[in-house]
Structure 1
């Protein structure tokens, strides 16, 4: 018998396979700790539910006496496995004593399961796949329905959907979030379908401009899906005959009308960093080159939204940490890299 059994996942949403792993964790240990990933992401078709909603689904799938032995710990995405693994360890250490015997429950389904190798000092309880359900199939059925047809759309999958999850899905379908996420889901589906017949999945190259001035950073609010209404740094796809530098300047000008001379921006350039995590964008494999500029104590340049931006604004750097759930894709973590927004894990 272990003191603690750990289960790690996104649970978007909780299905019968997750519940089977959770019950195994509780059967093997005095208590279970569930690490809920992607905890502070904005709602997207891939991450539609808050970590609190996912916690409710997890607890609702258990008898009360088992739910009382469950701890749920939210952990943000870091898009860097060593940093993420350290954050998981630190979160667990706040609950589990140094002498506790800890097990990690999981199964290797594909390359995305490599995170299980990041905790060699926790004994692995290797499980076979539990049932035939995966969360992607469930989400596709769900967002392909309407509020009035959700029950019918989920009926073929009902055996793999715990009652607590089913209730939340039906309730959520009556909220404005559902309609907005459906629009995003359809756009992303059509986007991927457009290149589905290519011999190889495309790899997209983008640029982003992190422009700092007087301890403010320039942000846009996206005007279109994906990420409509979310905050982002100015940026976009490179054009075929542009360099990365030229694309960065063009996107900055098109989206914000920020009229800082090129020579001034070149002098203010502090770093160019590549962000290439395979899961950083739901549009497909997207590698961005983020250009970090610092204009120091100069007057804040005038900005005006245009092109793909619904709004352009200067935001104090010390406000950003409290805005994490409002950012598009990995843009909060991109800002964190340059500006140090989160405390070290």
Structure 2
């Protein structure tokens, strides 16, 4: 006689890919009498070296293992994230595959017990992903999952993602000699002119081809505002003197999610300048920007799947007068 399912286990994470040990954990919860609900983080996100599988492909992996799943979009702030999980299962134990969410869920969650999966399982997942990206033999996944691998990303795109992964690994290694884990300051700039905003297309080693806000690292001898003016000029040719920048500054915000950047811990100070009515210099993509374009604010707010890392979330926050909070 089959036992009734008496409690919900909300499984939260990203499955790049779903490994055999991940499957075993889900099945163990079901065998223990839990109603297993799988929640995939990152709906409508672009592919990257860190997250090479779409939400739909991850859902297919979960289904191949015999479970159902839903996907949720990235949001800003712990309160908004918490609300997403409450809307799915307000009373549930949580099995967490994304340790970044463990920072707040263990403190905030009142619906049940929060358990993070062992680091070894996450490392195994990373190993399987990197072997697949590198075109090497990979283990730890079922035949059904391996078939989803082969049908998801063409080899040419996979090779580009592997190049990104290798670049990020080298970048991190270059900081390995630092006495403390580095935390760097960056700036990002939203330029609005009437009903349009300016975006750049990334041409660098990470996120190549994706759209982003202009920006970059703060130099040791400059303020964040001066860094924003410099980066804007280097990447787009747009020049804002200090007085014009202050007159056009509509709002600013700090974005500091510890996992927002795949390269390094980076805290960014984002500026929103509305230059409507001000004469703009001739614009031209420069530095590591491959191209630039003006898009309507309405179109920009539909570009989540085309934008680099958390740049859509920054743009959305700045364009909606901070309705979606950057810091709780």
TM-score by length of 2: 0.86
**1:57-108 Cα deviation digits (max 9, x unpaired):** 111122xxxx4xx2x2211222422111112223x16xxxx8xxx4224269
Q: What stretches of structure 1 of length at least 5 have no aligned partner?
A: none
How far off its partner does 1:186 sit? 1.1
Which of 56, 60, 65 does residue 64 from structure 2 map onto? 60
**2:78 is equivalent to residue 81 of structure 1:** yes
Partner residue of 1:103?
92
Which of 13, 17, 31 does residue 13 from structure 1 map onto? 17
Contact 2:317 2:323 (8 Å CA) reproduced: no
Report the aligned-residue RMSD: 2.9
Contact 2:57 2:152 (8 Å CA) reproduced: no
CA distance, structure 2, for counterparts of residue 342 and residue 49 of structure 1: 30
**2:171 is equivalent to residue 191 of structure 1:** yes
**2:155 is equivalent to residue 175 of structure 1:** yes
| More moved, 113-122 vs 160-169 | 113-122
Which of 302, 310, 317 does residue 322 from structure 1 map onto? 302
CA distance, structure 2, for counterparts of residue 218 and residue 234 of structure 1: 8
> Structure 1 297/21 Cα, relative in aligned 2: closer, same or farther at 3 Å?
farther
> Structure 1 19/131 Cα, relative in aligned 2: closer, same or farther at 3 Å?
farther
**1:13-39 Cα deviation digits (max 9, x unpaired):** 111232123223433557432110122
Contact 1:213 1:300 (8 Å CA) reproduced: no
Partner residue of 1:311?
291
Partner residue of 2:30?
26
SS of the aligned residue for 1:136 comes to: helix
**2:112 is equivalent to residue 123 of structure 1:** yes
CA distance, structure 1, for counterparts of residue 92 and residue 182 of structure 2: 39
**1:182-238 Cα deviation digits (max 9, x unpaired):** 111111111111111222221111111111111211110011111111111111111
TM-score by length of 1: 0.83
> Structure 1 27/298 Cα, relative in aligned 2: closer, same or farther at 3 Å?
farther
Partner residue of 1:274?
254
Contact 1:303 1:313 (8 Å CA) reproduced: no
SS of the aligned residue for 1:55 comes to: helix
**2:64 is equivalent to residue 50 of structure 1:** no
SS of the aligned residue for 1:322 comes to: coil
Contact 2:11 2:96 (8 Å CA) reproduced: no
Which of 128, 139, 155 does residue 138 from structure 1 map onto? 128
> Structure 1 213/233 Cα, relative in aligned 2: closer, same or farther at 3 Å?
same
**1:85-138 Cα deviation digits (max 9, x unpaired):** 112223x16xxxx8xxx4224269967534543663423375874975632232
CA distance, structure 1, for counterparts of residue 246 and residue 234 of structure 2: 18
SS of the aligned residue for 2:303 comes to: helix
CA distance, structure 1, for counterparts of residue 223 and residue 114 of structure 2: 49
CA distance, structure 2, for counterparts of residue 130 and residue 292 of structure 1: 39
**2:316 is equivalent to residue 336 of structure 1:** yes
> Structure 1 15/248 Cα, relative in aligned 2: closer, same or farther at 3 Å?
same
Partner residue of 1:221?
201
How many residue pairs were aligned?
A: 320
> Structure 1 27/237 Cα, relative in aligned 2: closer, same or farther at 3 Å?
same
> Structure 1 73/299 Cα, relative in aligned 2: closer, same or farther at 3 Å?
farther
